[in-house]
Every structure is written in structure tokens, then in C-alpha cells.
Amino acid sequence: MKIARIDTFLVPPRWLFCRIETDDGVVGWGEPVVEGRAEVVRSAVDVLSEYLIGQDPLRIQDHWQVLTKGGFYRGGPILSSAVAGIDQALWDIAGKTLGVPVHQLLGGPVRDRVRVYAWVGGDEPAELREQVEAQVEAGFTAVKMNGAGRTAPITTPAQTTAVVDRVAAVREVLGPHRDVAIDFHGRFSAANARRVLHELVPLHPLFVEEPVLPEQSHLLADLVNATPVPLATGERLYSRTDFLPALTAGIAVAQPDLSHAGGISEVTRIASLAETFGAHLAPHCPLGPIALAASLQVAFSTPNFLIQEQSRGIHYNKDADLLSYLVDAEPFRFTDGHAHRTSLPGLGITVDEQAVRAADRSAHVWRNPVWRHADGSFAEW
């Protein structure tokens, strides 16, 4: 069996899909993308395809080594995301060829269902209450929210109070038996994060995500020591070596993205590394169905897994949603806030290829916003 063809598809709202076909007709799907730079990742996949055509698709680990290390210049989100999508597709082919789900190839399941959370948004507490009530009614036991929008380096008392009030409104709806995670999105300075984290302690967040920018991992240890709130990071870390300083600093939750951090192969290794530090895995995934399917396969086979992000109804999704490119939505039918394990082969989903090809004919050009502070200077988005 040889790799015969590799194609990519730009599909709304902001995703890139990769299709790998073998010479005997087995098809695997992956999701290689950097949101806002999808066309660049597409070009990277094209370059990497030069090596892969004619190769045995089942030599996944060897291909991963060559694709990530075969060039003198290594690393970075573009390369690691291109490799991630290819890696997902190769695992999909392996599972389909052997007639088993990918989690079986990763050592077998350690759980029967995976807890997932839903996103909620809104600038005012009343808006948040309404959204949280809808997610609770849908059966979710955990939600995630942004801590704040555009944020000053040091917030005023009113701005700090606004953050706390919004989280308090969510906690009031959730009660003591459900969870809220809060995403600081790297918008907070270390000093500001320390101040706001102190105010959030009574509201008992599941975790606070990206309390500082990913390039400031050297500041995480001080924040970990300053608060009992579990800290999480990792959506903008792309390898085990990227995660090591954050884990050494004492983060509680590692959040690699299956479409950014080298795919299934590398994320399983990141999970094992995190386990040695007593940290848990909560894969980042505000993306499409292939990325989520890959994330769930890892979750089913990872002992130190905590919770899974998913994008149904997320604010980024315009013109298409999580289920738009699937033949059957059953694998993503969440009950009681959980995704349930199936025995479907490969990644466990069937991509609607006709819908994907049609969407690619009017390919998206999604870019993230550029924010500025009131004085006109650049602000973190």
C-alpha cells in the first residue's frame, strides 16, 4: 500500500482539511490549519507531500520524524500544523486498514466516555446567564468563557470587578456541581493576572487558561505559587520541548491542539510528559470535526485526560458548524455532557466529501481581528 494522492480543502468558517488516498483506495482525513494563516499551511502541506507520495502510509512514526526533522530549519506553528493534519490522516488510514478505531492502536481505551465542555459568551452577566442556562439544559456539565475582551496591562477596579461579576453570574447558574473554565487568552499581564486570579478564587474555576502569553512561560511559576486556581496553557505550544518549561513551572492542565502540536503522534507524547508532572490533558479544539475526532481518540486512550473542548455553537463558526461536513452526526452526539466511545474504524467519523469539495470552490479568507488600546497601541486579541 502506497500514498497515491494528497489534497487540501479550504472550508468555512476558517478550516483546512487534508485528504490522503492510498493506491488501493483507502482515504484518511486530517485537519492541518493555523487559524488566519490557512493558505500558508496549505502550501506547507504541498511541500511535505513531495516526500510522502509513494510512501507506505503505515510508517507513521518514521514519517513524523522525517517531516519534522528532515529540514535544517525546524519547528513553528506552520510546519507543526501541516504535520499535524497529515499525521491525523495517516492514523485514520491505519485504523481503517486494520478495521479498528485509532484509540485501539494507541493501546486501547482507558475510559468509555469523554467529558466535553461548551463555549459561552456575552459582554454582560445577563447575556452569559442565558447562554449558560441553554448549555445546562443541553446536558453540559462544564462551560468555558473568555475572562475579558481587550484588556489594559493593569486594569482599573471597575474592569477587574466586571471580570469577576461575569464569572459570578456563570457560577450562579452552574451551581456547585458543574464547572466553569476561564480563558485569559494571553491578554493579561502577569501582574494583572495575579490580581484577577486572587479575586476569582471564591468562584472555584476548573482552570484559568493562558494567564500570560505563551512566550512568557518563565513567569508561570510565580503565578502558580501565587494562586490556588489551577492554571492551564498550551494551545500555542507545539512540541514536548515547548511544554517542558510550562510543566516545570507547575501548570495543572496541558492544552495541546491536535491540529497544531504535531497531531496524534506528538500529543500522545505530550500527554505522557505531562503525566510525569502530575498535570492533566485538556486538548484545545475550537476547530472542525476532524480535529475533534482526533482529539477524542487521544482522550479515550490517555490516562491523565481531564476534559475536551469542542466548537459546536462557538462564536467563530459562521456559515458552517461542527456537523456541516459529516455524513453522520452520531459520533458527536453528546449526552450528559459526554462523548461516548464507539468501535468505528480510524478517527470514527465519515467526512461528507461532496460537501467539502463544494465548500472549497468558494474558499474562505479568514483573518483574526487586530485590536488596539484606546491610545492607539496594539492590544492582544
Q: What residues are labeled active site?
A: 185, 284
CA-to-CA dists, residue 69 to 61, 64, 65, angstroms: 12, 8, 6
Strand 378-379 and strand 371-372: pairing? antiparallel
C-alpha cell at 235: 494551545
Burial class (CB in 10 A: 0-12, 13-18, 19+), 331: buried
By the 10 Å C-beta count (0-12 exposed, 13-18 middle, 19+ buried), 58 is classed as middle
Q: How far out from the chain centre does Cα 131 lie? A: 22
Measured in degrees and rounded to the nearest 5, phi and psi for residue 380 equal -65, 135
How many angstroms separate the CA atoms of 258 and 307, rounded? 14
Task: Please tell me the distance from the alpha carbon of residue 197 to that of residue 181, in angstroms, as a whole number.
Answer: 12
Identity of the residue numbered 226: A
> Which uninterrupted H or E stretch holds 18?
strand 15-22
DSSP labels for 121-185? --SSHHHHHHHHHHHHHTT-SEEEEES-SS--SS--HHHHHHHHHHHHHHHHHH-TTSEEEEE-T
In the sheet with 3-11, reading across from the earlier edge strand, the strands are 3-11, 15-22, 27-30
Number of helices followed by number of strands (H, E) in the chain: 12, 14
Would you report the helix, strand and coil content of the chain in percent, each value rounded to 5? 40, 15, 40
Identify the CA nearest to 235 among candidates 167, 283, 166.
283
Pairing of strands 253-254, 280-281: parallel
Residue 258: closest CA among 381, 38, 83: 83
